[in-house]
Structure 1
Amino acid sequence: MTQMIPIVQIRQTIALIGIETTAGSLSIVQPKSDMQITTTPGQLEIRQSPAEMTIDQSQARAAYTGGTYREMSQRIYSGVEQLWLQGIAKRMEQGERVANFHKPGNSIAEVYGEDWQPVSYPEIRGPASVDNVRIDVRVVPPQIEYRRAEVNIQVETHYPEINYTPSSVDIYLRQKPSISFIPPEIDIQM
């Protein structure tokens, strides 16, 4: 008969640890800046006066009609004075020729016979010329005024909004350790 050796059974459960983590979160939000831009446009003003033109036709009028009464009188006076001086010179020259009547061609008939044409009246008109009309043009420079543009910028910044949730770790015992001894069955019948 074989003898059986009684065996004690030992059962053991190990401890189980549970770990649960929650991730942390970080959110950063920054609202946009408020910006106001106002501009004043530039302005350019140019004022141009018309050119000034003067036309002087007084010499042309003097050549056509004699001009004003004063100008005409002045020319007549100057002309009569010249005619008078020329007449005196002519009479003196005729007197010298008559004084030399013994020379051929100086007879009284010959000296005074040539003097039958009338003396012309002095010219009352001015000389005719291309330059009798004078045109003067005076250009007036433009007046320029400039006002530069202006830009006004106003910025209102906003601070960032930061939200932070830290991470968490939860550690717990899922299963307790245990040990159990199971004795062998003993047969009490003999």
Structure 2
Amino acid sequence: MQIPQLRMESTFAQLGLSMRKPIQEIKQPQAEMNLSQKPAELNIEQAKTELQMDSSQARANIGIMTSMQFSDTNAAYGREKWLQTIAEKSQEGDRLMRIYTRENAIAEIGREKGLRVLEGGYRPPSTSNDEGVDISAQARPVVISVKRNGMSINPVTKPPELSYTPGKVEPYMIQYNNLKISVIGSHLDQMM
């Protein structure tokens, strides 16, 4: 006798995954330094050299005198003559005082004075062989000043640029689950 049997066939479900990887991009823009160098300032000052020439002595040596030199020369000449006169009067007094020498002092003194009048009066000082030009030069130092203006830095930093595309996982069915039940060996309706 044939016993009816139930036969079951099942298939498992198969699940598939569609994956898209995430994308992350990082870009770092270059920073800007913005350097600026200011030129240094250099100042050079050269003061004028002083040159002084005094030719008054040379002019006096050839007889051309300034009013001050002429008055100084006359004053010196007058002083010299005054001292000579004092000395002569002192000597004449001494000679007149010596009566015991039996000299005719008054007549001798008169004769000497008469001869001196014939010799002449004022004579300018003799010229010298020296040129008499005084030259002096005064050099001034060079003044150098340096001013450093330095440099300036104005950096501009830029933040990193980030872009992110998130990943995605999408499931899909490769095969759905299935269960088949069938009856074997029976005259029953096999359709269920």
Q: Normalised by the size of structure 2, how large is the TM-score?
A: 0.61
Shift of 1:103: 3.1
Q: Encode CA deviations 1:125-170: one digit per residue, 9 max, x unaligned.
A: 59999x9836252637648585836758585x66655433221111
Give % identity: 23
Q: 1:180 to 1:43 in 2, by over 3 A?
A: same
- Residue of structure 1 in register with 2:190 after alignment: none
Q: Distance in 2 between matches of 1:35 and 1:95?
A: 109
- Residue of structure 2 in register with 1:46 after alignment: 44
- Residue of structure 2 in register with 1:16 after alignment: 14
Shift of 1:46: 2.0
- Residue of structure 2 in register with 1:86 after alignment: 84
Report the number of matched residues. 179
Structure 2 gaps, min length 5: 187-192
Correspondence for 2:62 among 62, 65, 70: 65
Shift of 1:44: 2.2
CA contact (8 A) 1:28 1:163 kept: yes
Q: Distance in 2 between matches of 1:7 and 1:20?
A: 42
Shift of 1:100: 1.0
CA contact (8 A) 1:15 1:176 kept: yes
Shift of 1:79: 0.8
Q: Distance in 2 between matches of 1:158 and 1:143?
A: 44
Q: Does 1:172 align with 2:172?
A: yes
Q: Does 1:135 align with 2:136?
A: yes
Shift of 1:21: 1.0
- Residue of structure 1 in register with 2:149 after alignment: 148
Q: Secondary structure at the match of 2:16?
A: strand
Q: Distance in 1 between matches of 2:9 and 2:167?
A: 39
Q: Distance in 2 between matches of 1:61 and 1:75?
A: 14
Shift of 1:35: 6.6
Q: Distance in 2 between matches of 1:25 and 1:147?
A: 53
Q: Secondary structure at the match of 2:101?
A: coil
CA contact (8 A) 1:8 1:181 kept: yes
Q: 1:52 to 1:28 in 2, by over 3 A?
A: same
Q: Distance in 2 between matches of 1:41 and 1:61?
A: 56
CA contact (8 A) 1:66 1:72 kept: no
Q: Distance in 2 between matches of 1:150 and 1:40?
A: 6
Letter in 1 for 2:149: R
Q: Normalised by the size of structure 1, how large is the TM-score?
A: 0.61
CA contact (8 A) 1:52 1:140 kept: no
Letter in 1 for 2:47: S
Q: Does 1:124 align with 2:125?
A: yes
